[in-house]
Every structure is written in C-alpha cells, then in structure tokens.
Structure 1
Amino acid sequence: MRILLTGATGFIGTALVSALADHQLTVLSRDPVKAKQKLGGQHHYLGNLEQLESLADFDAIINLAGEPIGDGRWTPQRKQAIETSRWQLTTRLTKLFFAAQQRPTTWINASAIGVYGPRDSSPVDESGPTGNDFAASVCTRWEAIASKVAQHTRLCIVRIGLVMHPDGGALAKMLPPFKMGGGGQIGSGSQMMSWIHRQDMIDLVIYLLGNKEADGLFNATAPTPVSNKQFVQALGHALHRPSVIPIPAAAMKLMFGEMSTLLLTGQAVLPRATQHVGFQFSFPTIEQCFSDLFRK
C-alpha cells in the first residue's frame, strides 16, 4: 500500500514506520534529512507539501502530526503552536485531497481523548459529549477539519489516550522519580487515566488501515482505565519501588499553570467502537502492560 505519513518521527510515528515496513511510505517532515537518518533510507521523504503535486499517488493518508500538548506550560505562543501544527497541516491535506481526481481510499487521522474534556470517573465512549477546555477545543476543530473528507473516503479518527512505553510520552517522564524511590500519586489520585500500550496503539492503526468496514471515531485506550492512585501503585509494583510520595495539586499548578489540568483531571474512556469493529487488545490491563514493558 502507498501511504503518506505525517508525524513519523514522533514517539508513536517512529514505531509505526517500523511496523509498516512492507508498505511504500512517503514521510512528510520539517527536517527530511534528520527523518531519513532516524527512520532509514528505504522511504521517500518530503520537506513540505509544496513538493507534492497531488494525493493521487497514495492509497492511504495517516496524519499524526502535531506539537506535543503536555510538554510544558501553555503560553500563548505554545498554544498557537499546538493549534496550528494540527489545524493548518490537516487543512492543507484536505485541499490536496479534493484537488485530486483519484483520491486515497483511506484516511486515518489522530486526535486525543482530551476531546472529552475534564470529567469525573463516569465512563465515556466514542458517543460521549465533547468538552470545552483548551485541549478539547483543539481536538474538536482538528476532527472537524479532517471530517470534511468523510463523505468521499473512509475516515478513521483515532482518539489517543496516554501511550505507554518507556521510550517516550508520559511514562518516560514518570520513570526517573519512581526509579529513585520518589514516585507517588498526583493531587488527590482520584483522577482517571485512560492509557494504551504503544504496541496496541500501533496494532490498532494497522488494523484500521486494513479493515475496509471500519470508519468513524475510535478510542485508542485500553478497556480498563484506572485512577491515578491505582496507576502509580501498579507502576511502583512493576519497578519494585515505593510509590508513596504524593505530588500536591498546588505544586503542579505552580509548575505547569493551565496545562496542569491534564494531570489533575482525567477521563475514564472506553474503546467501545474500537472493540465493536473487532480489534483485540494484547494488553487490556495496566498490570499486563507494565509486566510487558518492565519484564526482566
């Protein structure tokens, strides 16, 4: 399959490129030289969309690109980068899509469970209401832009939870204090965490890519969300380290400002549509996830 992939050098994208080794990949990257060094010379690389005359040469689009939303304080400049990195690229891709006489038959677009907004522990699935905070507004508009192609191709929007792997994402940031015996719950510890093993994340994208019956919204979260307290206890157990030093909510607000809402609130997100189309999780519980990631 001929695939145009954005966000290929990111934490998820890098693993996805390896999993798609049997396909013809064209990687869109702001720095194609570094991307080639990281991902290998067997793929085709583009530095910008101006190098692309049409999407007619592709069977599928996988659009993962976007500035990380949880990497620091949400300054006005950072908010703008988070927004434009998602909205502008997706808008330009849709314009190329409609300009093509022959169009890709599959489009997979990333989103995030932040679209549901801060919630209590009541479960929410793909049919649930969206939120109205900053993260939710970013995702809502991102999805709306991608949805313009839905009547003309098979569109799968993947709402990604906390992706678990020590190589990156939230887990990589948590590991140093835990390994030094300083890990613990954040704030009250009651906020729900909806997570997914990175291998399940990659497997889900590949499953949706090949399942011609799948379209619409899909939560990329394991079927067993946990509270932050349960999460840190499971992580401490897997690492054979204590998890008894809490991080006060006030400290998180002081360090991260508005962005701390991602850490102090959460959602119990269930992947009902994902399971309905037949996808099976290899790591459905947090204990199975950590057992695989930290096995000796």
Structure 2
Amino acid sequence: MASIGLALVGCDGGGTGDGGSTATFPARDNVCEDGASPPCETNTPAASEEQRTVAVDESMEAETRLYVVELISLPEASDPDGPGPQREQAAGFNLDGLDSGEGSSEPDANCEQFNTDYVAVTDSAHVGVDNALQGLVGTIEGLLSAEDCPGGTTDGCLDAQLQEQIADGSLLLMMEVSGINNYTNDTSVMLRLFLGATTDGSPPMIDSDGTLAAGQTFVEETALGSAVEGDIFQGRLRATTDLLTIEINTGDFALPLMISNAEVRFDITESALTGGAIGGYLTTQSIIDAASMIMPG
C-alpha cells in the first residue's frame, strides 16, 4: 500500500449563513516517547492536553461555505530550507503509527521500519509521514508520452495534467464546510466533497497566472461520499472520510486514485482555503494496474 499527498489551495465560492467556553481538542499529531529513537511508535501527542485546551466561542450563527480548489499537486519529497539536520518533507500523513526516520538497516526490520518516513510539508509537528507514491511520480511520468503532456515534456506532467483538468472544468473539486460557528476554534463542523461545474457547463475563466478567476459561480454536481464530521483548531480544519476518488486524465486513459481512510486538512478563513493536504491509502494492486495501463504494449 502507499499514501498519496495532495497539496491544495482553494478560493471561496460564497457563504450562507451559546457563549464562550473552553474545549479540549483531540490530538492530531503524535510523536515517539521522549528518548526513543526511530523506528518507534508514535504514541505520544505532540501537543499536551493543556496546549489543546482553548477558549471556544461558538455564539456566531452557523455558516456554510463552499470552496473551489484551484491547485492540486502530487509533490515529491523535498529537502527543507536552511542549514542543519532537518528531515526531508513530504505530503501526506502518518498512516502506520510509526516513525521510521531515515529507515532501519536492521536485518529483521519489516517493511514499515525499513522505509523512510518524513515530516509533513503542511504540518511541521506531524512526523512519520508515509508516502511511497511520491517515489513513483518520476517513474510514471517517464512512461508517459511527451505529446500528451502540457508543454511537451514529461517532467512535471502529472501536476500539469491536473491543472489542465481544472482549467477545462473536468476536475473542479469543491469542498462544502457547514456548521461553522467559529473560524479559529470550532469543536464540530461538517465537510463534504463534490465534483463541480460552471453554471452552463463551459470551462471556467482562468487568470493569467493559471488560477481560477474571481467572481465565477460554480454548482455541485457529483458528491464524493457522504458528509463527515471534523473540527477547526487554531484555524486549521481536519476531517477524515472512508473513500475519496480523484481521477487524472493522462491523455490516452484515465488514472483513478482510490484513496481509502483519507484525511483532509487545510487552513480555513471566510474567504479561502490554504496549506491543504489529503492523505490516505492506495493499494499496491491499484498502482500496478495504473502502471500496466501506461506501459507500452
């Protein structure tokens, strides 16, 4: 199995729309116990209960906001900026409850212990990120035809294909967040994902920088699963869903990514989503099937 991390940026599609108290939010990020060296189980909250207990004012009338995702990426692992022994970063989440660090070289190490784990690109306290798919991005792109890639080059082709699908309106991912009583700390909101379209089905208007132009109206067309409960802690929304399907059209065929046990996180305001990530499981067989579709002959 492998995980997928998608970097997301969204723009607001419009909104509708008892006193203060305190609440303790569940731990989102876990680390190894003090003194433990990788590989080790991530069974200790990165933030203490005191740090996760904050003032909550949910007196605002509940709002619903609809956001349209304008950037989707399949980033590969990257070295952090600046000097020092910082760990490599990757999109995604810790799926196996283990931080293997740079990977174990012990002869009895299992698969999870042997493979390198990372720090999340979007959540610096989230360690043990599992992202085997990122190592296959270059391999998959190398098997594609340059003629099918925007710009005529296979390097970065998958990301370019995703942006091309957004631009032609075939991959307009919409996120509906409802029950919002506070954009900083809210103990319960609902998230539902849709594929959307413009009101007349035509391609959306695109700015010169390649992003969606402001002032457009989009409609929800196909629900990608049921609404799921999440929360907002320090301005960052987190929710999980059983299954999320995103399809990449590579020109000759469609490459479906069936992401199970998916987790979604992003910074949320009334007008925008930023710093987003989606992670979850992909089966090994689904990757093999995708590769067989690409292989010549």
| Structure whose CA Rg is larger | 2
Is this a same-fold pair by TM over 0.5? no
Higher relative contact order (CA 8 A, sep 6+): 2
- Whichever structure has more strand as a proportion of its residues is 2
TM range (shorter): under 0.3
Q: TM-score normalized by structure 2?
A: 0.22
What TM-score does the superposition give when structure 1 sets the normalisation length? Answer: 0.22
